[in-house]
Structure 1
Amino acid sequence: MKKTALFLLLSACLASCTKSNGNQYEVKMDRFTFEKVNEVIREKVMTSGEVEHGNLVSSVSSAFLNTPYKGNTLVGSADTNEILVADFNGVDCFTLIDYVEALTRAKDYKSFINKLVETRYAQGNVAYFSRKHFFTDWSAVAPYNATDVTRKISSDYVSVQKNLNAKADGGEYIPNLGIIPREINYIPGHAIDAAVLAKLKSGDYIGVHSKLPGLDVSHTGIIIKTAGKVWFRNASSLASNMKVVDSPFVEYMTSKPGFIVLRAD
């Protein structure tokens, strides 16, 4: 069967037949993304053997280097039906890590769709209010994507209590989602030293701590360790980048309030 025919057949089936908790949902994916999913699984996941998960995250995420930055690609709101979007033509900092983690768990195209649902949504329920809207949802909301290892990385970590989604003026970033009390642990940027760098692993997911009320992070990315250097792989919205790049981790992070470290096994 030709690739185009196969893509159309699978797309039609997934769009009309895929269900989450008994509820039907639509999948949005173009041919480029479909082919890229299969390529990454075939060339990076299925050939990886018994490598540590973090090394697989590093390898899979390399397939996104130079992918254009593109925000607001997800479809759904309080007033619009949620659609499961997979779009590799452009990513933001959060969809990048969504796609990478889902791909590392996939064995084929259909399992990628299932893993993307588990990665992006609480209880695997494809709905706007079930999205894991906050980075720390990855370690706090089932199904869990990763473990928060921040406190194991540095004894200089700081703990703060936050009411996620609560704006300083009393409103909500995501109206009608509600307020989520959560303890946030982060390592101040100025506390990075050789010991901290040694404890970080390739494939660790990093959230740049936000000082704003109601937010846990302002940006996300992935630790990459190679040739004795530590990099921060991220979908950068900086005008000089506007694509997925590797930034020197220490240089990037020392000027930031701090960072959270989540590790997937």
Structure 2
Amino acid sequence: MVHSRDVVLILMLATATGACAQPDDAAQNGSAPGAAEQATPQDAPVVVSDTPEDSLIFERTVAWVRESRSDTLPIGELIAAIGQRFVGAPYTPGLLEVPETEQLVVNLREFDCVTYVEHMLSMARAIAAGEPTYGRFKDELRRIRYRDGELTGYPSRLHYFSEWISNNDDKGVVENITQALGGVRDTTGIDFMSRHTESYRQLADSVNLQAIREKEAELSSFPRYMIPENRIADVADQIRNGDVIAATSTVPGLDIAHTGLALWVDGRLHLMHAPLVGSMVEISEVPLAERIQRIEAQDGIMVARPQPPQGAAR
């Protein structure tokens, strides 16, 4: 196995993946899946960090989708098609860490492993909803990236990716199918961010730190599931193009080490992702199961299936 624990640790410090989870059974906490389906603007104003080039890239992507008739594809296939358009885009860590207060960062020019997934999913949802505008895309991105779709400061970001999956399941954006695929209970605690405060500028603020600690405790108390690395090949045929793949971590206190999108290539399941090693968006050279087994700091996966927006036919 590749001894990449240090590489993954650096990656997670750079991309700031950490926060808290909700119960898998949303009905128990009064939040029905899909209850907030529409990507409506939040009441409080949202500061957006982007460039004119980002809107141009979005418009070119929409034009390509229409020309190729990819807008007729099911949501997962649409995500996979759009994702392949960005293969070769640069990998850049820490893209969400703006020097000012928390902002909605839009960056279609470069990606880290999480922002790649978020941007591809947001573009696909705007197109599938029949509203392929830059404004709708930004609304989808905000809704996906922040807890319950509300950007209310640094702690509102879904830092820990297991909560990203859980909260977006609650919102009807994805369906967490990990347990249905035979996933086993993951009982490891989560406290990576609060134990590495020196790596997160925003945690110098005691209010932010306390909020993160509370979310970590909440996340650690709720059940989550993972498919162990030695079972991935057995369930691969149940994973579809465009499914969100989250590689579970062996780093103490960290739930997820890496993220990407499922892509079938020549009859084998691969990972389309923005890795630290490689420095650009790529399709994994080896199948997903083999890739996870090669990396010491990853020991399994979670799988989330994108759901079509409300009213979409696919």
Given the two structures, how large is their TM-score scaled by the length of structure 1? 0.81
Q: CA deviation at 1:223?
A: 0.6
1 CA distance for matches of 2:242 and 2:66?
14
1:56, CA displacement in angstroms? 0.9
Q: Give how far 1:254 is off.
A: 2.1
- Pick one of 90, 93, 96 that aligns with 2:113: 93
Flag structure 1 segments of 5+ consecutive residues without an equivalent.
Answer: 1-18
CA distance in 1, matches of 2:241, 2:42: 34
Structure 2 residue corresponding to 1:158, chosen from 177, 184, 188:
184
Aligned to 1:121: 146
Match of 1:44 in 2: 65
Structure 1, 163-172 or 183-192: larger mean CA deviation: 163-172
Alpha-carbon distance between aligned partners in 1 of 2:166 and 2:178, rounded to the nearest angstrom: 14
Asked if 1:203 corresponds to 2:242, the answer is yes
* Residue in 2 that maps onto 1:242: 279
Structure 2 unmatched ranges of 5 or more:
1-39, 127-131, 204-208, 308-314
What is residue 135 of structure 1 aligned with on the other side?
Answer: 161
Higher relative contact order (CA 8 A, sep 6+): 2
Counterparts in 2 of 1:168 and 1:37: CA distance versus 1, 3 Å: closer
Q: CA RMSD in A?
A: 2.5
1:108 maps to: 133
Q: Note if contact 1:138-1:144 (Cα within 8 Å) is conserved in structure 2.
A: no
Q: Which of 62, 67, 70 is the aligned partner of 2:84? A: 62
Q: Percent identity?
A: 23
Are the structure 2 counterparts of residues 219 and 166 from structure 1 closer, same or farther at C-alpha, using a change threshold of 3 Å? closer
Q: Which amino acid aligns with 2:250?
A: K
* Structure 2 residue 242 is the aligned partner of structure 1 residue 216: no
Match of 1:28, as an amino acid? S
Aligned residues: 240
Tell me which residue corresponds to 1:12.
Answer: none
Which residue in the other structure is 2:176 paired with? 148
C-alpha change, 1:168 and 1:28, in structure 2 (3 Å) is closer
- Compare the two structures and name the one with the higher helix fraction: 2
Cα distance in 2 for partners of 1:45, 1:170 equals 45
Alignment check: 8 A CA contact 2:247 2:256 kept: yes
